Structures are given as structure tokens and as C-alpha cells.
């Protein structure tokens, strides 16, 4: 499933940790927005890694699932491309 992930983190240190964690799973497309293609197991792993970083009373991470049909309707005004799946993966 394709996800748009945004975050609003007040503390600089926590914000950096969240951004570094998200970089392990997807691609940054704006300062506080990432795009990622995640299987359910990867999504669970991401949530598990983010949970101890976040202050539940101050921080917000939003994960927006986009179905294949919705993904074809994404529009970008200005710079940027929708994150594509790699043609191949090196293991």
C-alpha cells in the first residue's frame, strides 16, 4: 500500500529522530512529508519504531493510505514527482 506520511513534532531532537526513522521506510517529498510503499509488516515495524520517540501529548504523525486508483489522481503543482517503486531491488 502507498502512504503519504506527515508529522508535526515540537521538539527538535524528537523531530530529527522521526525524520531519520521515516527515511528508513520511504522518501521525503517535503520538509515534514514522506511517501512510502509499505507492506503490512513494514507498516507495523514503522509504527513500533515511532511509538517510543513520540510524545503522545504534543506530537502527531499521520499515515494516509492511498489506494492504487487514488494514487493515479495525485496532482503535484510545482516541483516533484510521486515516489515510484524501484525497477529492481538489490538484496
pLDDT (tens digit, 9 = 90+) per residue, 17-48?
Answer: 999 999 999 999 999 999 999 999 999 999 99
pLDDT (tens digit, 9 = 90+) per residue, 44-83?
Answer: 999 999 999 999 999 999 999 998 777 777 777 777 767 6
Q: Which residues contact 58 (CB under 8 A, 6 or more apart)?
A: 9, 10, 11
Tell me the average pLDDT across 14-19: 97
What size, in residues, is the chain?
Answer: 91
pLDDT at position 91 is 61
pLDDT at position 35 is 93
Give pTM, 2 decimals: 0.81
Q: What domains, with CATH codes, occur in the chain? A: 2-71 (3.30.70.240)
pLDDT at position 69 is 79
Amino acid at each position: 500500500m502507498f502512504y503519504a506520511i506527515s508529522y508535526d513534532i515540537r521538539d527538535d531532537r524528537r523531530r530529527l529522530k522521526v525524520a531519520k526513522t521515516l527515511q528508513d521506510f520511504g522518501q521525503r517529498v517535503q520538509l515534514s512529508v514522506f511517501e512510502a510503499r509499505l507492506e503490512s509488516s513494514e507498516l507495523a515495524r514503522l509504527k513500533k519504531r515511532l511509538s517510543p520517540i513520540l510524545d503522545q501529548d504534543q506530537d502527531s504523525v499521520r499515515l494516509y493510505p492511498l489506494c492504487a486508483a487514488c494514487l493515479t489522481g495525485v496532482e503535484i503543482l510545482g516541483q516533484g514527482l510521486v515516489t515510484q517503486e524501484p525497477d529492481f531491488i538489490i538484496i
